[in-house]
Structure 1
Amino acid sequence: MMTNLFSIFDPSTNIFNLSINWLSTTLGILFMPYMFWLIPNRYNFFWNFILLKLHNEFKTLLKNNYFQGSTFIFISMFSFILFNNFLGLFPYIFTSTSHLTLSLSISLPLWLSFMIYGWINNSQHMFIHMIPQGTPPILMPFMVLIETISNIIRPGTLAVRLTANMIAGHLLMTLLSSTGPSMSNYLIIILIFIQILLMILESAVAIIQSYVITILSTLYSSEVN
């Protein structure tokens, strides 16, 4: 019996005193070898089409900062988050992206590397970003303070956005499914239909959130040059 609503996100389940829930983050690797069975196959065509579209999108966003291979890190991050978001929709598979431990470990090192690179190599450009063009002199100290705070909280907003969206959908589906035993037959049919719609919505959220966090990371990287 579930004693706590948030126990569905509990990573403490273990076998032989070994926590195995986080192993779900490696399950995405199992999807990769399939493309080597027969080349070219439909899966290979479909995945290459997605990666090419993402590459062109990130290349456009990076603008002058683009160099050969610079989009690989963002495409890899998109793939990793997408696989983990989708795997969390399957029963009895731990949703690793619903924890700040994972989402912060993705966004914080990226943001730190962008900031360190920008302040060391383009410090004048970074100072210019602190004050928007056309700001009155009297408001400049406040604008520097606001821009500094908004810059510092960027990795936190990336992590919380991903985590909150993953948690919200899972909690809603759990709450609705827990009311099933007390419902009549015709209400259960309606409940199943609602759950199917929520599953479709969660699938869309899994794609959108992985895309959003990757696009925002790309935009943050393009600001340091």
Structure 2
Amino acid sequence: MMTNLFSTFDPSTSTNLSLNWISSFLGLIFLPTMFWLIPSRINLVWIKIISALHNEFKILLKISKMKGTTLIFISLFSMILFNNFLSLFPYVFSSTSHLVLTLTLALPLWLSFMIYGWFNHTIHMFAHLVPQGTPPVLMPFMVCIETISNIIRPGTLAIRLTANMIAGHLLLTLLGNTGTSLSLLMVNILIITQLLLLILESAVAVIQSYVFSILSTLYSSEVN
């Protein structure tokens, strides 16, 4: 029994054991064995998506010699998309609605970009602190603003994904809890509304995973 609304996102709500994190690995069970063995239609669609992402990330990274650089960002997109979609199933815990997971993805990426950039392209990184055409009087303020905006990047990446996943799930939970006290007509309207919200959440699941990976790619391209 839920003690409050946010206990929906508690991994140990339904049972005394924190087993709901297993939802992050359920996709491997759902995918049929033939997906891994022969180029099925699902596999071909996924290859098309990966190829499109690879071409887009390659343009953003501006790297032609280092093949396979986009693999980390495609893998990041796949993992987040996987978890976002799995959280739409009933009674499945949404792991991407926790900062524990999203910060674990965002912070090491940002930190590695910063360490690489400051050690290998120090002058380039200093130049990023002052945008081109800034008046000399405003330069100290711009350095402070750019530094702060750079430091909060992993936090904004993580919170954006978490907040979007929580918002949709909370709305679905709120509407679902009112079903017992409604008339038959209103229940039918509620079901239609829930279905439309579920379609919206499916779109949000794709968009948020794309936004997370594309922003990570942009942050990486700035340090080269």
TM-score per shorter chain, which class?
A: over 0.9
CA distance in 2: counterparts of 1:200 and 1:35, whole angstroms: 25
Runs of 4+ in 1 over 3 A off after TM superposition: none
Alpha-carbon distance, 1:36 to partner: 2.6
CA distance in 2: counterparts of 1:34 and 1:218, whole angstroms: 32
Residue 8 (structure 2) pairs with residue 8 (structure 1) = yes
Unaligned runs of 5+ in 2: none
Report Cα offsets for 1:77-124 as digits up to 9, x if no partner.
000000000000001111000000000000000000000000000000
TM-score, normalization by structure 1: 0.95
Map of 1:22 onto structure 2? 21
TM-score, normalization by structure 2: 0.95
Map of 2:139 onto structure 1? 140
Unaligned runs of 5+ in 1: none
Report Cα offsets for 1:20-39 as digits up to 9, x if no partner.
111111223333744134x2
Query: Is 1:86–1:206's contact at 8 Å kept on the other side of the alignment?
Result: yes
Map of 1:47 onto structure 2? 46
CA distance in 2: counterparts of 1:47 and 1:202, whole angstroms: 20
The 1:32–1:214 alpha-carbon spacing in structure 2 relative to 1, beyond 3 Å, is farther
Map of 2:90 onto structure 1? 91
The 1:60–1:32 alpha-carbon spacing in structure 2 relative to 1, beyond 3 Å, is farther
RMSD, matched Cα: 1.5
Q: How many residues align?
A: 223
> What are the residue-to-residue correspondences of 1:1-225 with 2, within 5 Å?
1-13=1-13, 18-30=17-29, 31=31, 33-37=33-37, 39-64=38-63, 67-225=66-224
- Tell me the SS of whatever aligns to 1:19: coil
Report Cα offsets for 1:29-65 as digits up to 9, x if no partner.
333744134x221011111111111111100111147
